[in-house]
Amino acid sequence: MTTPTNHPGTLVLAATPIGDPRDAAPRLAEELAQADVVAAEDTRRLSRLCQALEISPQGSVLSYHEHNEASRTPDLLGRLLAGERVVVVTDAGMPSVSDPGYRLVAAAIDADVPVTCVPGPSAVLMALAVSGLPVDRFCFEGFPPRKPGERARALTALAGESRTMIFFEAPHRLEATLAAMATAFGADRPAAVCRELTKTYEEVRRGGLGELAAWSSEGVRGEITLVVGGAPPQVVDLDDGIAAVLARVAQGERLKDVCADVARATGLSKKALYDGALASRATS
């Protein structure tokens, strides 16, 4: 049994390659080799990664996955409170992002244990970067619901989302998900299917959702990341836009920020909104 100390250890979330082991950060090898504990989603995958990095963990290695995350978190927290350095790795990418790790991060923060990370490969950011879709504002939606009804409701709720959206999906559900997205967002909504990123058969297929759904009907293999364009701006009357700006400014928001936001959402000119709002305030 570990004994808490006045000097807690550190929780390290370590990003692992999403395909090519050469993408591993130099710090990853150091952390894995020197950690007191390495908590891995799949210890066999960790072993293969360590072989590729030509290192051998000196501390203990234990499994930490979705089926034992809740039960194993208290033990790992105890080891952190005893002053140990615990490194968490998942099969690919950053722990806690659609992978185990969040429970331990929350527990560590509550116990005032330092939490840091080793940055590295991210399927989310890589897919966004190569998609060709807008990158200035985006959101990560993880895996869509598996059941058709729940999936349809979740996608309908996102139909008006103006930011570029990023999803994960299993290859055997890809066609159904793309078809559901075409129904909820429109068949012409631009999207990109990013498959096997950084691996031998890497592929990025771009097109409208309807086109991509038809393409995927023949079957697609590998790790899939979906990037979907946000809802196009809804063009409205300038007077209505100015009224919307003034209403938000009256609630305490900055005029310049509101004009930019309303312009992005409606397609109206930011300058026209700004000048119109100033003119309206001057005459009221």
Query: Cα separation of 175 and 170, whole Å?
Result: 10
The residues pairing with 147 across neighbouring beta strands, listed in sequence order, are none
Q: In the numeric block, which tokens belong to residue 195?
A: 């498959």
The residues pairing with 208 across neighbouring beta strands, listed in sequence order, are 190
Q: Are 21 and 94 in contact (CB under 8 A)?
A: no
CATH 3.30.950.10, applies to 124-228: yes
Q: Looking at residues 116-133, what average pLDDT do you find?
A: 96
Statement: residue 171 has pLDDT above 90: yes
Query: Other C-beta atoms within 10 Å of 282: how many?
Result: 7
Task: List Cβ neighbours of 243 (8 Å cut-off, separation of 6 or more).
Answer: none
Query: Cα separation of 182 and 247, whole Å?
Result: 34
Fold classification of 10-121 is: Cobalt-precorrin-4 Transmethylase; domain 1 (3.40.1010)
pLDDT at 256: 93
Q: Looking at residues 171-200, what average pLDDT do you find?
A: 97
Statement: residue 5 has pLDDT above 80: no
Statement: residue 175 has pLDDT above 90: yes
Q: Looking at residues 111-136, what average pLDDT do you find?
A: 96
pLDDT at 2: 60
Domains of the chain, residue spans: 10-121, 124-228, 238-283
Domains 10-121 and 124-228 share a fold: no
Reference 103, options 68, 127, 155; nearest CA is: 68
What are 24-49's pLDDT values in tens digits? 999 999 999 999 999 999 999 999 99
What are 51-76's pLDDT values in tens digits? 999 999 999 999 999 999 999 999 99
Query: Cα separation of 66 and 106, whole Å?
Result: 16
Orientation of helix 69-81 relative to helix 102-110, angle to 10°: 40
pLDDT at 26: 92
Q: Are 128 and 166 in contact (CB under 8 A)?
A: yes
What are 89-123's pLDDT values in tens digits? 999 999 998 889 999 999 999 999 999 999 999 99
What are 198-244's pLDDT values in tens digits? 999 999 999 999 999 999 999 999 999 999 999 987 768 899 999 99
In this prediction, residue 21 has a pLDDT band, given cuts at 50, 70 and 90, of very high
pLDDT at 282: 85
Query: Over the chain, what is the mean pLDDT?
Result: 94
In this prediction, residue 265 has a pLDDT band, given cuts at 50, 70 and 90, of confident
Statement: residue 1 has pLDDT above 60: no
Statement: residue 255 has pLDDT above 90: yes
Give, in order, the Cα–Cα distances in Å from 83 to each of 38, 61, 107, 151.
Answer: 14, 17, 15, 44
Q: Looking at residues 249-265, what average pLDDT do you find?
A: 89
